[in-house]
Amino acid sequence: MSSILITGVSSGIGEALAGRFADAGWNVIGTVRNTAKQPVDAWRGRVRLEALDLATPGAGAALAERVLSTHGCPDVVVNNAGSLQWGPVEFASAEEIEGLFRVNVFEQIEILKELLPAMRERGSGVIVNVTSLGGRMVFPFFSIYNASKHAFEGFSEGLWHELKPFGIRVKVVEPGFVETAIWGKTMQDGAGATKPGPEPYRSYMASMADFERAITKRTSPAKAAQEVYAAVMDESDRLRYPIAAYARPILRARRVFGDQFMLRFFHRRWLDRPRAR
């Protein structure tokens, strides 16, 4: 029976993906920050949980060591866990920037570094790194988050070359807009209002928040998970898989019209007319 390790299964795409592979009869290992909280009742006995807090230095390597000793080397690894950051670059502290890169890049690389020798010796495996539409383009006030996803994209492309001779396939999944709570948690305060943001960016951040709220056509986590499942099962050497709402048309438009055109187009749409305060 095939096995899969999925990080970040407590909600969203990760939660739906764990259920999808469990339904298909796979041995599923999922990570959550607190293993005492079982995310989905239907998982009981079908998804084995491991604790993982990517914000902790060394957590990625420690998880991989536990997985190897307890479950053996998984056939598929899906680096799905991640964190979001919203705000102007000049107001982000060095600690916040480093913390975001630790969660979205550094510790996920450490997981793979520990697992790769066993996968390489076996001569097979699939690695799926979940980045974002923001791993191919940049949204205002998500600059640091997008930079971390760009970094993971570059890492993945290099890994594709390094591991192809050993029969290991590397895939990058780039979700567009998915129905998850992460946007609201990042951009809203406890009362559900948009976080005001610092001056002199406040009106521009409000304009960007209005744009985000206006996006009502989003892909459900279950549908996005099905697209990830299809990417895992694809036996080709394809690297990138844009999924979910708007990802494919936006990236297609960028290829057709060019980077500079798209920069100007989206800037006019997002920030040329900031909302009055």
Would you name the residues annotated as active-site residues? Answer: 145
Q: Are 171 and 231 in contact (CB under 8 A)?
A: yes
Buried-state track 136-172, b at ≥16 Cβ within 10 A, e below 16: bbbbbbbbbbbbbbbbbbebbeebbeebeeeebbbbb
Residues in contact with 163: Cβ distance below 8 Å, sequence separation at least 6, in sequence order: 116, 119, 120, 127, 169, 170
Query: Residue 240 forms beta bridges with which residues?
Result: 172
269 touches 207 (CB < 8 A): no
Phi, psi of 80 (to 5 degrees): -105, -30
With contact defined as beta carbons under 8 Å apart, do 144 and 261 qualify? no
Please state, as a whole number, how many other Cβ atoms lie within 10 Å of the Cβ of residue 184: 13
Give the three-state DSSP class for 86. Answer: coil
- The token pair at 28 is 């599923």
